[in-house]
Amino acid sequence: MAKRDYYDVLGLSKGASEADIKKAYRQMAIKYHPDKNPGNAEAEDKFKEAAEAYDILSNAEKRQRYDQFGHAGMGGGGGGYGGGNMNMDDIFSQFGDIFGSAFGGGGFGGGGFGGGNAGGRRVKGSNLRIKVKLNLEEIAFGTTKKIKVFKLVNADGVTYDTCTTCRGSGQVRRVTNTILGQMQTSSTCPTCHGAGKSIKQKPKDADEHGQKRQEEVIEINIPAGVGDGMTLNVAGKGNAGPYGGVPGDLLVQIEEEEHTSLKRDGNNLYYDLYVNFADAALGATAEIPLVKGKAQIKLDAGTQSGKILRLKGKGLPEVNGYGTGDLLVNINVWTPMRLNDEEKKLLEKLRQSPNFQPSPSGKDKSFFQRVKEMFG
Ligand SMILES: [Zn+2]
């Protein structure tokens, strides 16, 4: 087939201005755009023909050569400018010039179309999300959990073809009208999710992507020090990538069971210890629950309510392995709420006793100071 004159292709005369060339190509590109003419081979040829003409005529040097020598001047061996050698990606990359500089380089033109006709990519499987409930002991020391998941796997016996929606490129392009003019967007092919492949044959129990859901037991190592709401990313343990892609990740969300008596704040643990009035005055020993086991602590004679004892290193480890929190024991001196006659008599005797009169000294830390130290 004889090659048409580039000016004829764009409906222009030889002396057409740069602006005319742009305008003409723009109209042709919109008219014959593949998205507007799905499955229309003639439109596609016209689209490519116009793109080729524009490629030459929009370039001053190429245009000059073409004006002088015609098609013979355009390629090696007099065969013309390699008819139809422009692929769709080349064509779409032109749109950056055509559809206005308003879009600049960002997002339009150069952006999404790089890589050209490599044809599809390895599709990553979707991430799989699970929740894991842990008690404080598991959090303090780390643990291994075996979790049953239903995940997508590639079914056996699936064979592949080139995707007809995107012709193997994995991308579909669309020109949309916006208030700024026409804008071309490129997105992942909805049919093949970017793989550029379609299913040729598949077993009955596989879905349209050749996958099926299968029960699997996954072993997850949970490091010490994780916290409620934290998400661990187990790479490659999610859903299989369709069309021979790479698997997604398993996202493990941590749920922390509340401990009966230890409260957590970051890596520190808090415990409220209640001591009776006599123990606080005379001194005593008390038992403190730890994450694992117990600790004995000594209360000095004259321990005040509100005193905080710090058990260093008895909190939780940092998840990154650096350092361990403390266990802070808040002393509450218990004031009896019911008294029998004998108890009342004893306390009446003590009520006026000089040593029973509050006399906080500078040594006793104020509430403000204690809080400051706790968080400081
Ligand atoms: Zn596709």
For the chain, the straight-line distance linking the first and the last C-alpha, in angstroms and rounded, comes to: 85
State the pLDDT at residue 97: 44
- Fold for 263-375, please state it: HSP40/DNAj peptide-binding domain (2.60.260)
Cα of 364 to ligand 1 centre, how many Å?
75
Residue 154 CA: distances (Å) to CA of 77, 168, 212 = 50, 20, 6
Q: What is the DSSP letter of 140?
A: H
State the pLDDT at residue 309: 93
pLDDT for residue 103 is more than 70:
no
| Torsional sign, CA 9, 10, 15, 21 | negative
State the pLDDT at residue 68: 76
Partner residues linked to 174 by β-bridges: 185
* Separation between Cα atoms, residue 70 and residue 115, nearest integer Å: 31
Residues 207-250: tens digit of each pLDDT:
988 999 999 999 999 999 999 999 999 889 999 988 888 899 99
The single residue listed with the structure tokens 């499955």 is: 39
Taking a C-beta distance cutoff of 8 angstroms, is the pair 103, 184 a contact? Answer: no
CATH class held by domain 6-86: mainly alpha
Identify which of 264, 203, 194 has the alpha carbon closest to the alpha carbon of residue 228.
264
pLDDT for residue 95 is more than 60:
no
User: Do 6-86 and 263-375 come out as alike in CATH topology?
Assistant: no
Which residue type is seen at 119? G
Quick one: how far is CA 59 from the chain centroid?
A: 43
State the pLDDT at residue 151: 93
Averaged pLDDT, 146-161: 91
The single residue listed with the structure tokens 């995940």 is: 151
Cα of 72 to ligand 1 centre, how many Å?
37
Residues 360-376: tens digit of each pLDDT:
876 666 777 777 776 66
| Torsional sign, CA 219, 223, 227, 229 | negative
pLDDT for residue 109 is more than 90:
no
| Torsional sign, CA 51, 54, 58, 62 | positive
Give domain limits for the chain: 6-86, 124-154+210-257, 263-375
- Fold for 124-154+210-257, please state it: HSP40/DNAj peptide-binding domain (2.60.260)
Cα of 41 to ligand 1 centre, how many Å?
18
- Average pLDDT along the chain: 83
Nearby residues of 121 by Cβ (< 8 Å), 6 or more positions away: 170, 194, 195, 196
Cα of 190 to ligand 1 centre, how many Å?
7
Cα of 125 to ligand 1 centre, how many Å?
16
Partner residues linked to 365 by β-bridges: none
Averaged pLDDT, 102-111: 28
Cα of 28 to ligand 1 centre, how many Å?
26
Angle made by CA atoms 259, 285, 314, in degrees to the nearest 5:
40
Identify which of 208, 215, 176 has the alpha carbon closest to the alpha carbon of residue 193.
208
Residue 175 CA: distances (Å) to CA of 32, 46, 109, 327 = 11, 17, 12, 63
pLDDT for residue 106 is more than 90:
no
By DSSP bridging, strand 327-334 and strand 143-154 are unpaired
